[in-house]
Amino acid sequence: MDSLFAAALTNLTSPMVLCFGLGVAAGAARSDLEVPEPIARGLSIYLMLAIGLKGGAGLAEAPALAPVIPALGVAVASSLLMPVVAWILLRRVFGVGDPTAAAVAAHYGSVSVVTFAAATGFLGARGVPFEQHLVAMLALMETPAILTGLGLAGAGRPDPARRRELLREILVNGSVVLLLGGMVVGFLSGPKGFADVKPFFVEPFRGALCLFLLDMGLLVARRVRRGVLGPRLVAFGLTMPVLGAAWGLVAARGLGLSVGGGTLLGVLCASASYIAVPAAMRLALPKADPAVYVTLALGVTFPLNVTVGIPLIHAAAAAFLGAP
Amino acid sequence: MTRARRTRIEVVVEAAFRGEVCALLEAEGASGWTVVRGAQGYGAHGVREEAGLSGVFENVIVLTVVGAERAERILGRLDAALADAHAVVLVSEVEVLRPGKF
């Protein structure tokens, strides 16, 4: 138990989490500090491409690709089904009505790339290896949840123009393209090709993550100040990640993942989207309240995961998946 | 120097609906439009300024200038298309130089 708290504490004093805290503090104090949007966008492209390339190069070295297929199936199924659990909880336990409940549910079926990046940083700092196809799972969990959200809201078929826009969002969303495309590039160029770009994509990764998390902290502080969430919604935002992480660990055991891989799948299932899904939900379910779904994913679940969630999920993965 | 009267339509709308507004302008045959990103402000939906990568709390301004008849058609369709969006639509009569462009 001591080591569990020690792990949580070390995570809290990592530069990444402290930068996030700095952003939150600056935002709460209404500092004029801001990370210009093009830089934040550039950083997110860098982070996603780096994750994709590294995953693809790692996959090229993997002894067999057979275990990858069921893992990808689990990723899509989790993204499609987790919103159903979230929706039932929201409506039955937390008393949230549609269409906001359906929109929130979609966010919790999808994932947060930055939380994943923070988790890989956490594992990297501790020298814990993980299966590289987790990156493909990350990419495939991004958008299927949007479909479930639409189904839950009974939205029917949106008009053709909006349908095209949504389909584009689901299939060729920027983050999906970067993650999967990066994996293909990494896979085709192999470990040797990857070595060429390693100084740019690997060494500065955690530093770039610090900058990005600083910006996330600022956004979280501003969002929390402006979004009003009742205690029931906050309780949901704290409960759902626990259920998600538990499901992720069970799935990891079924897939035979390592402790590192299990940690990442737990983190993926515990996280909620705040980039791809909000934009899609705004178009698909315009009557759902964005102040609720963005604030919940960004202001409650994201900080929970980045600060204490990742080390706790890692500790749980070590206990549940580690060698007896 | 030729000057002529045209109708200017200015749509201040959340970034998520930008594609839809532009597609509508294209379908109605507007000869061009300008999108100004990062529009900040305050209104019925509170402060609109944070970008936050999803664009959900960000506004854009879509600006077009067309002939009066086309303007009526565009406005009719905009009214329906923006029913669920957070948007303000401003219409004004303007004078333009080089009227062949509109």
pTM across the whole model: 0.88
Q: Check CB contact under 8 Å for A294 and B17.
A: no
- Which residues is B46 bridged to in the sheet? B43
Q: What gap in Å lies between CA A132 and CA A145, rounded to an integer?
A: 23
Q: Which residue of B has its CA nearest to A37?
A: B51
Q: What is the pLDDT of residues A14-54, one digit of tens each?
A: 999 999 999 999 999 999 998 888 898 899 999 999 999 99
The pLDDT assigned to A283 comes to 83
Reduced to 3 states (helix: H, G, I; strand: E, B; else coil), residue A41 is: helix
Nearest to B53 among A41, A162, A222 (CB): A41
The pLDDT assigned to A157 comes to 64
Q: Check CB contact under 8 Å for B16 and A222.
A: no
Which residue, among A94, A42, A52, has the nearest Cα to A201 in the 3D structure? A52
- Letter for the amino acid at A239? T
Complex ipTM value = 0.76
Q: What is the pLDDT of residues A95-145, one digit of tens each?
A: 898 899 999 999 999 999 999 999 999 999 899 999 999 999 999 999 899
Contact A52/A249 with Cβ under 8 angstroms?
Answer: no
Q: Check CB contact under 8 Å for B54 and A274.
A: yes
Residue A294: its chain B contacts at CB < 8 A? 52, 54, 56-57
Chain B contact residues (CB < 8 Å to A): 14, 16-17, 19-20, 23-24, 38, 46-47, 50-57, 84-85
Nearest to A286 among B38, B52, B85 (CB): B85
* pLDDT range class, residue B3, cuts 50, 70, 90: very high
